[in-house]
Amino acid sequence: MVHKTTPSVKSIVPVEQAVGMVLPHDITEIVKDTFKGRAFRKGHIIRKEDIDHLRRLGKEHIYVLQLGPDEVHENEAALLMAEALSGDGVTYSTEIVEGKVGLRAAVDGLLKVNREALYRFNLLGEVMCATLQNNTPVQKGEQVAASRAIPLVARRSVVREAVAIAREEGAIVQVLPLATVRAGLVITGNEVFHGRIEDRFEQVLRDKLATLGSTVGTVRFAPDDPEQIASAIQACLEEGAELIVTSGGMSVDPDDVTRLGIAVAGAEAVVYGTPVLPGAMFLVGRIGSVPVLGVPACGMFHKITVLDLVLPRILTGETIGREELAQLGHGGLCRNCATCQYPVCSFGKA
C-alpha cells in the first residue's frame, strides 16, 4: 500500500518575496539535448538576480519547510538508504544531487543484486532504488545503483523500514571481485591434434581470461579420445591449474567425446546443456575444488557466448549447477548484433 505524505509547510512564498530565504531542495534545470542538472542547490540563499531565472524554470512560489517529528528531508533519507544498500565492493558520495545518491563500484568485479529484497524495498512507495542488472560485469567507479526518497519530505518510519529491508541480508547491492586464477586449456579435436587445421580456440580463451584478470598456465592438445583428453586434463592439474577449460567436442557427433574425457578425468557435479544461445552444449563441473568448463565450438565463432555469462561467476567463487544455468533461459538468447555492446545489452540479464 502506498502512503502519501504532505510536507510540513510553514509557508508558500511568492518567488518575488523569497529574496534572502534558503532553498530547502535542489532546483533542476533541463535544456533539451543540452543540459540537465542543478540550477540552484539546496541551501542556496535566494538573491534578487535569481528571480527571473527561477521564473524561467516555472517557479512562481518557494517552499519554506518545517519538518515534523516523523519527517525526514530527501537528502538525509538518501544518505541513510545509501549506507544500508551498499554492501561489499560498493561506495557512494555524501554529496546528494537533486535528492539522489549514486552507488558506485569500488572494485572491478561482478554486480550482485538481492532482487527479492530490492522488490520489497521499492514496494514501500515513498522510496526507490534502481540498479543495473544482477550479474553484470562492472568496473571500478562505474555507477551500479541510485536511490532517493520520492517526495521532498518522506515519513521517517518509511525510511526506517527501507533501511531495515536493505540490511536484512547484509546489503542489497554488492560488487564481488574476481579471483585471479591460473587456467589450464585442453584443446580437443583430431583436426587440430594432427595438424590438419590451425587452432584458433586457444587465443580466444586466452583473451577472455585476460580480460577478467586471469592467465593461462598450461595448454594441452588432445585427439578425439576420452582417455587422452582425461590425460591432458590431469596434466594441467598436476601443473597447478586452478581452472580447466576445454574447447570443442561437445555436440552430438560420434567424434565429439570431450565430455566423456572430462568424466574419465574424475569430474563431479557435471551439468551438460544450457538454455542459452549461443552455448546450449556447454558443460560445467568440478574435479576436486577445480572448476571445469566445457566450451562448445560456438565459443570460437561467436564473440559472446554462455561462457561470458558463467566464467565471471565462477571467478567470484560461485558454484554453478543446473538451477543457476536454468535461470539463464530468460535473457539467454543473444541478438547477434552487428556491433556487439555486451554487457550493455539484454543477453544473460534475467
Give the tens place of pLDDT for each residue, 129-139.
999 999 999 99
Q: In what order do the strands lie in the sheet with 101-105?
A: 90-92, 101-105, 143-149, 127-131
Question: Nearest Cα to 175, choosing from 96, 103, 117?
Answer: 103
Which has more pLDDT, 196 or 349? 196
The answer on pLDDT for 127 being more than 90 is yes
pLDDT in tens, 200-242: 999 999 999 999 999 999 999 999 999 999 999 999 999 999 9
Taking residues 97-105, what's their average pLDDT? 93
> Rounded CA gap, 140 and 105, in Å?
5
Q: How confident is the model at residue 28 (pLDDT cuts 50, 70, 90)?
A: confident
Residue 1, pLDDT score: 45
**CA of 37: how far to CAs of 41, 130, 212, 282, 350, in Å?**
10, 19, 35, 47, 32
Residues 6+ apart with CB under 8 A from 112: 87, 134, 135, 173, 174, 175, 176, 316
Task: Say how many C-beta atoms besides its own lie within 10 A of residue 245's C-beta.
Answer: 24
CB 92 within 8 A of CB 103: yes
CB 84 within 8 A of CB 161: no
Residue 2, pLDDT score: 45
Q: How confident is the model at residue 3 (pLDDT cuts 50, 70, 90)?
A: very low
pLDDT in tens, 54-93: 998 888 888 766 677 888 888 889 999 999 999 999 999 9
Residue 159, pLDDT score: 97
Give the CB-side neighbour count of residue 135, counting CA atoms within 13 A: 22
What are the grid coordinates assigned to 167, written together? Answer: 540490511
CB 284 within 8 A of CB 268: no
pLDDT in tens, 283-310: 999 999 999 999 999 988 899 999 999 9
- Worst-scoring range by mean pLDDT, 18-27, 212-221, 264-273, 278-287? 18-27
Residue 40, pLDDT score: 84
pLDDT in tens, 110-121: 999 999 999 999
Domains in the chain with CATH codes: 9-65 (3.90.105.10), 71-176 (3.90.1170.30), 182-329 (3.40.980.10)
What are the grid coordinates assigned to 157, written together? Answer: 518510519
Residue 227, pLDDT score: 97
> Rounded CA gap, 184 and 216, in Å?
6
24 φ, ψ (degrees, to nearest 5)? -90, 0
Read off the pTM: 0.83
The answer on pLDDT for 158 being more than 80 is yes
Taking residues 142-168, what's their average pLDDT? 95
Residue 81, pLDDT score: 98
- Worst-scoring range by mean pLDDT, 16-25, 125-134, 188-197? 16-25
Residue 148, pLDDT score: 96
The answer on pLDDT for 9 being more than 60 is no
